[in-house]
Amino acid sequence: MTHEEVRALLLSFPGVEDGVSYGEPSFKVAGKFFTWLRPKLDDSIVVHLDNLDERDLLIEMAPDAFHFTDHYRDYPIVLARIAHVDPVWLKAALWKRWRKVAPKRLVKAHDAA
């Protein structure tokens, strides 16, 4: 994927706006943190997961696509290299995250549409 494709994907989610966090591109939904891009960390996007085991499995299965730094060691977060991550997987993982952080009314409106 390219940066433009990832940005377009992120902005396709209802209520998502772009901004800057920690000096890098970030995305929020209704003012709540959704995710951010980490160009300085192997040109990656931050993906929130359900648990650390899921992260370890992803890294084991596709080390060219997934990694993490010591900063994220204790968090269920994986860094997905934009150039190597499967777009279908990324979209599904981001939808899961969106549903967790988006306001209930926004999720309900999306589901009804």
- The string of pLDDT tens digits covering residues 39-78 is 888 899 999 999 999 999 999 999 999 999 999 999 999 9
Mean pLDDT, residues 12-41 taken together: 93
Instruction: Quickly list DSSP for 43-59.
Output: SEEEEE-S-HHHHHHHH
Across the range 27-39, mean pLDDT stands at 94
Q: How many CA within 13 A on the CB side of residue 54? A: 11
Q: Say whether 93 sits in a helix, a strand or coil.
A: helix
Which range, of 3-7, 19-23, 90-94, averages the lowest pLDDT? 19-23
- Our CA dihedral for 37, 80, 35, 20, rounded to 10 degrees, sits at -10
**What pTM was computed for the model?**
0.92
Strand partners, 7: none
- 17's tokens: 């706006």
Mean pLDDT for all residues in the chain: 95
For the cut 90, the answer to whether the pLDDT of residue 113 exceeds it is: no
pLDDT value at residue 41 = 87
